A and B are shown apart, each in its own frame.
Chain A
Amino acid sequence: MVRETVYELKRDLSQIRKYIKYGLFFLVMGGTLVLYNQYYFKVEREIMNLSQLKGQLSARNLMLKKEVSRLSSPERIEKIARKRLKMKPVDYSKVRFIETK
């Protein structure tokens, strides 16, 4: 009984061996595809991270631009000039123009 089963398995194996090269071919192809996929997802994640970073940096850039505009407002500068630096509006009688040749 056992011998018969072993004999049957051997016959099955010899049948399977005929197709093993195809199996190996599909296995290698599958493996390659899996590896490629992993690489693809890794690159995609990197692109996503970089786009996110770009978005964050552009947002920060805009916020900084907004802040620069607010800080350089003529109203604010005049207030600082008058109050902190005790400056006075121009009086042309005290302005001297220097001729350049």
Chain B
Amino acid sequence: MVRSKVYILAGLIVAGFLLVVLRLAYFQIINRDEFLAYIEKQYKAREKVILPRGTIYDRNGRILSISVPTIDIFAVTRYIKDRHTLARELSRIINVPYPVLIRKLSSGKNYVVLATGIDKSLKERLLNLRRQLEEWNLGVIESSRRYYPLNQIGGTTIGFVSKVTGKGMEGLELKYDKKLGGGTGDIYLMKDALGNPFTIEKNISSEETFDIKLTIDSNIQYIAETILAEFVRERRPKEALILIVDPNDGRIIANATYPNYNPNRYWKYRSHRNITFHSAYEPGSLAKPFILAEAVDEGRIDLNKEYYCGEGKIIVDGIRIRDHKRFKYLTPEDIIVFSSNVGAIEIALKLDPEKMYRKLHTLGFGSSTKTFPGEASGILRDDKRPVEIAYAAIGQNWTATAIQIAMAYSAIANGGYLLKPRFVEEFINRETGEIIKPEKEVIGRVLSEKSVRVLQEAMKMVVERGTARKGKSEYFTIAGKTGTAQKYDPAIKALSTEKYYTWFAGYFPAKKPKFTVVIFANEPQKIKKWERIGGGSVSAPVLKKLANRIMFYYKEKPDKNRNGGQNGNQNPQRN
């Protein structure tokens, strides 16, 4: 009797469990997908959040670009008990107008994004508000926003990240997009069984990401930008730039461009071009030293002989090409020092055209350095007609980017080696802290020792007594070359006599070069009516200020005495 009762009871319990198991099997095995889809639809919503990216530092460890933590605020509108109170209270905390919030809360959508990119320090206040109002369907999700603490300093170089996709859109943010990580991640918002907040499921891939330390020095960048801004105020060019590169290892130290933009408000600017890399211009007389180098290497000129410079003009293939002065006889060095067009053309016409163009190509002209996204290659056609060779010798009819010019002039400064320019000092693994240092990349020897010696001497004289004497520093030796290229004017279908590209490219200190500088302006304006626009009058004066300020920043001792001569290692000042 007792045993049978126990068996009946046990049987009932087992049957009960069996029913539960069967029901569970029905939900979880047989109709699993259907119910999952139902749950997804009813209780889950997918939303994208912006993921933090690696930080970009300058060479001194100062932050140039950082992802700061923010919060996004969501609400499942149909479960909000009192929309008006919530909108009013929320508006006070997050500083978003009440009408905007109430419109969103009354939109009739299942869930709405009330605000994004809100300062994360407000999170606690928001959670308190949720508790007070018992609005459990108000959600707070962590996200991030890219911030550039130095604003427009280095703006065109650093670039920016889209505030919608979290991906790099321009500049180094685009170039190193994969290394920096970021982008968006999916999160699922879900109301749990107790009706409590949201449970959030993240679906974020965990790829290896890096912080990046650049070769840019933000102090030098600032100095360059300040000097460029002064220059722009004075000369009102369409575009202008100052590029500073280390000639010994190809590090780009500063790149100031006009126009520039503030990456924190990138959407307010029409153009995001970085003219140093994106635009190619005719280099004008900056080409002449390379023609002289080829002539030295081919042994086609006597460095001590004086060459006839046409007294202001030369006719090639029936086309008259003018000089800026009526030079009679000049040595090859003085052809560079005084930038004689006729002299340079005379030398170029003595050369093997194939070898001359090969020299320009090996110096990096006509092909992109692949340092920056969307970088231009410039145009260099190997046209062997004498008139084209003549124009090529004076830097007309072919174009080069400022970075190509900087690297070619760095080759003169460093003894003849063409280097690959670079922006990155270190990649730092964000998880492991492991540091990867990109190596200096030598593309090859492009100038012989003899031609380097000739060019270095000639370029020193350009600044001391030649076309760039307005850029001569009282304290430091500078070597370089000015360039002026006439712009093609479609209105007169010829080269303009009013619109110019003006250049200066060089390096300092001349004895032990530490910085290669390129200073460029597109259509600078005259300050005085009688003034003649040219690299010497426009770009060179910028050089003096730049050299003095940079060298002082690095606490470099002047290498010149007060009389203007070189001082070697002696201290030029009286103690």
Contact of B552 among A8, A55, A90, A98 (CB under 8 A): A90
Contact of B68 among A62, A75, A92, A97 (CB under 8 A): A62
State in angstroms the CA–CA spacing of A89 and B218 once bound together: 18
Flag B107-128 by CB within 8 Å of A: 1 or 0 each.
0000000000000110000000
Residues of A67-101 at the interface with B, using a CB-CB cut-off of 8 Å, are 68-70, 72-75, 78, 89-90, 92-93, 95-99
A63, B557: Cβ atoms under 8 Å? no
Contact of A74 among B121, B222, B573 (CB under 8 A): B222
Judge if B37 is at the interface, Cβ distance under 8 Å: no
Contacts of B548 in A (CB 8 A): 90, 92
Contact of A63 among B55, B69, B219 (CB under 8 A): B69
B222, A69: Cβ atoms under 8 Å? no
In chain B, what residue has the closest Cβ to A8?
A: B2
A97, B2: Cβ atoms under 8 Å? no
Interface of B is mostly: mixed
State in angstroms the CA–CA spacing of A75 and B225 once bound together: 10
Judge if A59 is at the interface, Cβ distance under 8 Å: yes
Contacts of A65 in B (CB 8 A): 55, 63, 66
State in angstroms the CA–CA spacing of A100 and B55 once bound together: 39
Chain B: minimal CB distance from A78 (Å): 8
With contacts A62-B68, A97-B571 taken as known, whether A75 is within 8 angstroms of B558 at the C-beta atoms is no
In chain B, what residue has the closest Cβ to A99?
A: B571
State in angstroms the CA–CA spacing of A8 and B3 once bound together: 12
Please count how many residues in chain B sit with their CB below 8 Å of the partner chain's CB atoms.
33
A73, B69: Cβ atoms under 8 Å? no
A74, B153: Cβ atoms under 8 Å? yes
Judge if B150 is at the interface, Cβ distance under 8 Å: yes
Contacts of A17 in B (CB 8 A): none
A69, B150: Cβ atoms under 8 Å? yes
Judge if B290 is at the interface, Cβ distance under 8 Å: no
The number of residue pairs between A and B whose CB atoms lie closer than 8 Å in the complex comes to 69
Please count how many residues in chain A sit with their CB below 8 Å of the partner chain's CB atoms.
28
Residues of A36-72 at the interface with B, using a CB-CB cut-off of 8 Å, are 55, 58-59, 62-63, 65-66, 68-70, 72
Chain A: minimal CB distance from B560 (Å): 10
A12, B2: Cβ atoms under 8 Å? yes
B62, A69: Cβ atoms under 8 Å? yes
Judge if B432 is at the interface, Cβ distance under 8 Å: no
State in angstroms the CA–CA spacing of A62 and B68 once bound together: 6
Contact of B147 among A11, A59, A66, A78 (CB under 8 A): A66
In chain B, what residue has the closest Cβ to A71?
A: B149
State in angstroms the CA–CA spacing of A59 and B144 once bound together: 10
With contacts A62-B68, A66-B149, A92-B558 taken as known, whether A98 is within 8 angstroms of B575 at the C-beta atoms is yes
Judge if A15 is at the interface, Cβ distance under 8 Å: yes
B150, A73: Cβ atoms under 8 Å? yes
Contact of B66 among A8, A11, A69, A73 (CB under 8 A): A69
Chain A: minimal CB distance from B561 (Å): 12
Judge if B474 is at the interface, Cβ distance under 8 Å: yes
Judge if B175 is at the interface, Cβ distance under 8 Å: no
With contacts A66-B66, A92-B558, A97-B557 taken as known, whether A75 is within 8 angstroms of B475 at the C-beta atoms is no
Contacts of A75 in B (CB 8 A): 150-151, 153, 222
B575, A62: Cβ atoms under 8 Å? no
A92, B474: Cβ atoms under 8 Å? yes
Judge if B549 is at the interface, Cβ distance under 8 Å: yes
Contact of A90 among B66, B222, B549, B571 (CB under 8 A): B549
Chain B: minimal CB distance from A97 (Å): 5
B149, A69: Cβ atoms under 8 Å? yes
In chain B, what residue has the closest Cβ to A97?
A: B557
State in angstroms the CA–CA spacing of A93 and B552 once bound together: 12
Contacts of B226 in A (CB 8 A): 78
Chain A: minimal CB distance from B198 (Å): 16
State in angstroms the CA–CA spacing of A95 and B2 once bound together: 111
Chain A: minimal CB distance from B126 (Å): 14
Contact of A59 among B120, B151, B222 (CB under 8 A): B120
Contacts of B149 in A (CB 8 A): 66, 69-70, 73
Interface centre among A74, A89, A95 (most CB of B within 10 A): A74
Chain A: minimal CB distance from B13 (Å): 14
Residues of B149-169 at the interface with A, using a CB-CB cut-off of 8 Å, are 149-151, 153
Contacts of B557 in A (CB 8 A): 97
State in angstroms the CA–CA spacing of A8 and B153 once bound together: 96
State in angstroms the CA–CA spacing of A65 and B52 once bound together: 15
Contacts of A59 in B (CB 8 A): 69, 120
B66, A92: Cβ atoms under 8 Å? no
In chain B, what residue has the closest Cβ to A73?
A: B150
Contacts of A63 in B (CB 8 A): 68-69, 120-121
State in angstroms the CA–CA spacing of A29 and B153 once bound together: 68
With contacts A59-B120, A73-B150, A90-B549 taken as known, whether A66 is within 8 angstroms of B68 at the C-beta atoms is yes
Contacts of B142 in A (CB 8 A): 55
Contacts of B573 in A (CB 8 A): 95-97
Contacts of B69 in A (CB 8 A): 58-59, 62-63
Flag B212-249 by CB within 8 Å of A: 1 or 0 each.
00000011001100100000000000000000000000
14 A-B interface contacts by CB (under 8 A): A11-B2, A63-B69, A63-B121, A69-B150, A73-B150, A73-B151, A73-B153, A74-B219, A74-B222, A74-B223, A75-B151, A89-B549, A96-B573, A98-B575
Tell me the B residues contacting A by CB distance below 8 Å.
2-3, 55, 62-64, 66-69, 120-121, 142, 147, 149-151, 153, 218-219, 222-223, 226, 474-475, 548-549, 552, 557-558, 571, 573, 575
